[in-house]
Amino acid sequence: MVRAAVLPAVGAPLEVTDIALPAPGPGRVRVRLAAAGVCHSDLSLSDGTMRVPVPAVLGHEGAGTVVAVGEDVTGVAPGDQVVLNWAPACGRCHACSLGEVWLCANALAGAADVYAHRADDGADLHPGLNVAAFAEETVVAASCLLPLPDGIPLTDGALLGCAVLTGYGAVVHSARVRAGETVAVFGVGGVGLAALQAARIAGAARIVAVDVSPRKEELARAAGATDYLVASDTTAREIRALTGKQGVDAAIECVGRATTIRTAWDSTRRGGRTTVVGIGGKDQQVTFNALEIFHWGRTLAGCVYGNADPARDLPVLAGHVRAGRLDLGALVTERIGLDGIPAAFENMLAGKGGRALVVF
């Protein structure tokens, strides 16, 4: 038996309870979690913004140590330290054939499986986003594991599984920020903080952080922001004033709200790039008129998982960490136990803090 945070139904509070994990079957691996990040996507799953089979154990950003492997598992062995990859590419679908592994059609196929049972009533449990990291231990497909790069602390390594890959990838792969360009990052949570660091690493000349909370300014500036704005109706105008009335070359939206997406678009220069990382609900409608799309010549792009290939990008990120350019610990504003996840959800709703990290 292990302790886990279970979502019994969409919209219901999480319940920390005992669950029974099976021995790993063919192609599967049991992992003891060291840490798991609390991501806004977990909140979106719990409230129904994103659909997930329930009851489920959420948590998709984690790292830990392999404790057992099933038949036909190669590449990992008990004792190995690993990062969980919640979206493993199948290598067979159309997106994978194009090299766009972050859009793999089969990446979340495992999320519908029954992977464990509640200890109290035997109810089937599904692994939220494949990996069910809000638990002391989990059982996952071997394809959901990546080796923890050398020199990365195991606890901090959890952040590589989502926040850092997403924020870094949004800047480097989607927006393709170049040295000397100007960047605005909307939303200073875990992903936003990673995006700010990535913009600094990319050599951006001016990096504007925008958030609803004035209390995040110190976090943002430590991550690389040269300017900080508290979100308001005049944010786009203020950003243009900071950039010679032009607007930024690249705007990274990490919130997922219609008003923020629209403001990010309005803050981007003519011919610039607006990248949407945040996950919004279907009711969040963003409108543009045909003339402005023609006139401004901007690019508006969605960004899934930072358009990242984890196998390719993790070693690169590790190099930045070892060189002191990327500070994983700076993304974490709170270290909690499983019981602290509901409060971390409330903090996200209130726009507080960066990344809460469940430490086992």
**DSSP class per residue in 15-29:** EEEEEEPPPP-TTEE
Rounded to whole angstroms, how far apart are CA atoms 200 and 194? 10
Average pLDDT over residues 39-48: 90
CATH number, domain 164-307, options 2.40.70.10, 3.40.50.2000, 3.40.50.300, 3.40.50.720: 3.40.50.720
pLDDT higher than 90, residue 250: yes
- What's the CA gap between 156 and 232, in Å, rounded? 33
Instruction: Based on DSSP, count helices (H) and strands (E) in the chain, helices before strands.
Output: 11, 18
Residue 209's pLDDT band (boundaries 50, 70, 90)? very high
Element of type H or E holding 312: helix 310-322
pLDDT of residue 299: 97
**Residues present in the chain in total:** 360
Asked if residue 137 lies in contact with residue 33, where contact means CB atoms within 8 angstroms, the answer is yes
Average pLDDT (42-63) is 92
The rounded distance, in Å, linking the Cα atoms of 316 and 311 is: 10
Q: Could you tell me the pLDDT band of residue 184, with boundaries at 50, 70 and 90?
A: very high
Tell whether the model's pLDDT for residue 66 goes beyond 90: yes
> Closest by alpha carbon to 301, among 276, 322, 331?
276
266 neighbors 246 (Cβ within 8 angstroms) = no
pLDDT of res. 150: 92
Q: Of all helices (H) and strands (E), which one includes residue 171?
A: none
Under the banding of pLDDT at 50, 70 and 90, the label for residue 48 is confident
Report H helices in 60-161: 94-97, 154-157
pLDDT in tens, 90-133: 999 999 999 999 999 999 999 999 999 999 999 999 999 999 99
The letter for the amino acid at 271 is G
pLDDT over threshold 90, residue 49:
no
| pLDDT for residue 249 is more than 90 | yes
- Average pLDDT value for residue range 73-79: 95
Q: Which residues contact 26 (CB under 8 A, 6 or more apart)?
A: 70, 71, 72, 73
Give the start-to-end residue ranges of the domains of the chain. 2-148+328-359, 164-307
Q: Facing residues of 73 across strands?
A: none
DSSP H helices, 143-285, are 154-157, 163-169, 190-202, 217-223, 235-242, 258-266
Q: Position of tokens 């136990």?
A: 337
CA pair distance 142, 140, nearest whole angstrom: 6
Task: Using the predicted structure, report yes or no on whether residue 260 has a pLDDT greater than 90.
Answer: yes
pLDDT above 90 for 352: no
- Average of per-residue pLDDT across 2-18: 95
pLDDT over threshold 90, residue 349? no
pTM over cut 0.75: yes
pLDDT at 167 over 90: yes
> 135 in helix, strand or coil?
strand
Q: Give Dmax (Cα) for the chain.
A: 63
pLDDT, residue 160, reads 96
Q: Binning pLDDT at 50, 70 and 90, where does residue 314 land? A: very high
pLDDT at 51: 86
Q: What is the tens place of the pLDDT at every residue in 219-228?
A: 999 999 999 9
Among candidate residues 260, 198, 39, 252, the one with its CA nearest the CA of residue 133: 39
pLDDT at 50: 85
- Predicted confidence band of residue 82 (pLDDT cuts 50, 70, 90): very high
The fold for domain 2-148+328-359 equals Quinone Oxidoreductase; Chain A, domain 1 (3.90.180)
Contact call for residues 257 and 278 (beta carbons, < 8 A)? yes
Specify the pLDDT at position 353.
Answer: 78
Question: What mean pLDDT comes out for the span 288-293?
Answer: 96
Q: At 128, phi and psi to the nearest 5? A: -55, 125
**Residue 281 predicted with pLDDT over 90:** no
**pLDDT for 253:** 98
What's the number of CA atoms in the CB half-sphere (13 Å) around residue 204?
A: 30
Please state, in angstroms and rounded to a whole number, the distance separating the CA atoms of residues 162 and 157. 10
d(CA 24, CA 8): 24
Residues 293 and 291: their CA atoms lie apart, in Å, by: 5
Place of tokens 């951006």: 204
Which pLDDT band, with edges at 50, 70 and 90, does 301 fall under?
A: very high
Mean pLDDT of the chain: 96
Per-residue pLDDT at 52: 87
Chain centroid to CA 277: 9
In the three-class reduction of DSSP (H, G, I as helix; E, B as strand; rest coil), residue 103 is classed as helix
